[in-house]
Amino acid sequence: MKTNKALPILFAVMFLVMVGFGIIIPVLPFYAEEIGASPTQLGLLMAVYSFMQLLFAPVWGRISDKIGRKPVIMIGILGLSLSFLMMAWSTELWMLFAARIVGGILSSANMPTVMAYVADITSPEDRGKGMGIIGAATGLGFIFGPAIGGVFSEQSLNLPFYLAAASSLLTFFFVMVVLKESLTPEQRKVQETGKKPSLIEALKGPNSILFILQLFVSLSLAGLEATYAYFAAATAGLEAVQLGYIFMIMGLAQAFVQGGLVGKLTKRFGEGFVIQLGIVISAIGFSLILFTENFFTAALFLTIFGIGNGFIRPGVSSLLTKTSSAGHGSVTGLLSSFDSLGRIIGPPLGGLLFSITIGLPYLSGMFLSIIALMFYQIYRVRMRKLQF
């Protein structure tokens, strides 16, 4: 499938996937509480999903290298639909955990396989643009999904889960009918005979530094997401509705950057410049958040952070798929696994730091950003040595 036709389709697919996923976000805590979940159990309910993604994203990535991208994407989307239905039918806590486990295992196929699809169909020069477009679709889906879920939850707490299941099922049929396979049988043979690095082997080369860099970025982001509502309430007196608007503003700005600027800057200056620019802007955003006083400053400072963060993942994904000798699915799967690890550790760590001092998660985020920047410099030096 030609790039100019496939990218809009992939954008629509990831947007619809994330809308379906986002629909349940504002409802799940209340739904779980109604079934009988304690705050600790709710935390475990969130963590088990990320843990399954940590384990299975690399597996699905490798499977997509062998059997093709389209069937794996379809499995991931159908898995989401199934997990939403299981949640809607849950009457006991163990059923909700089972649904989250199934959802984590199967939906972990989506992001790495879509990114691998982008890597298949884009030239090295346009790789950053393609990854940015997928990031933009993800961000926009995350804006509209929770808003839809919040509206329909007023009628019934389990209605959003049925809605999310229906949305995912429609997306499944859309992929089945419209999306064409990006890997030819010949390309699959080449990827099967190519070396497939295990996690330990992958951590030996220069590219391993990029995985660790993504871990630090994900860790700091997850810490912010877990604590920002409390921080904004304490420093600026903001309430849930105002926070919703702030995250919407940040998401729109991030989507604009990923959908437009990332591709242009990557093509002109390269992935390295984009990654470093994103890390520096994120660090500035973290530091500015500490000076939040009202709605305007909260929206401005969080948006600056969001724009910086929006540069990093597309740049890292593009660079890894260009420099790795392994299959694109294997690489993007491993990257998603590191991202999930950060999302598992980040919330409890952010909560712990917040309990010590409310600004500590953002100081630590700034510190982690500086470490990530240092890691990139190490990566650049090691890659230069390999070339000479």
**First-to-last C-alpha distance (Å) of the chain:** 37
Architecture per CATH, 3-387: Up-down Bundle (1.20)
User: Based on the number of CB atoms within 10 Å of its own CB, is 168 exposed (0-12), middle (13-18) or buried (19 or more)?
Assistant: buried
Count of helices and strands (H, E) across the chain: 17, 0
User: What token pair was written down for 131?
Assistant: 């990854």
85: Cα separation from own chain's centroid: 23
What are the average pLDDT values for consecutive 10-residue runs of the chain, which has 388 residues?
75 90 83 83 84 92 90 95 94 93 94 92 89 91 84 84 93 94 70 52 76 94 89 89 87 90 92 96 97 96 95 93 80 92 91 92 96 94 79
The predicted-structure confidence for 9-22, as pLDDT tens digits, reads as follows: 899 999 999 898 88
Task: Please tell me the distance from the alpha carbon of residue 360 to that of residue 66, in angstroms, as a whole number.
Answer: 45
Asked if 263 and 346 count as a contact pair (C-beta separation under 8 A), the reply is no
The size of the chain, in residues, is 388
The identity of residue 328, as a single letter, is: H
Task: Please tell me the distance from the alpha carbon of residue 55 to that of residue 336, in angstroms, as a whole number.
Answer: 10
Give the pLDDT of residue 247: 87
The predicted-structure confidence for 169-205, as pLDDT tens digits, reads as follows: 999 999 999 999 987 766 666 555 545 555 555 556 7
Give the pLDDT of residue 188: 62
User: What token pair was written down for 148?
Assistant: 């839809």
| Cβ atoms within 10 Å of 199's Cβ, excluding its own | 12
Task: Please tell me the distance from the alpha carbon of residue 84 to that of residue 99, in angstroms, as a whole number.
Answer: 7
List Cβ neighbours of 49 (8 Å cut-off, separation of 6 or more). 100, 101, 103, 104
Distances (CA, A) of 207 to 7, 129, 220, 255, 259: 26, 21, 21, 27, 25
pTM of the model: 0.88
Asked if 301 and 292 count as a contact pair (C-beta separation under 8 A), the reply is yes
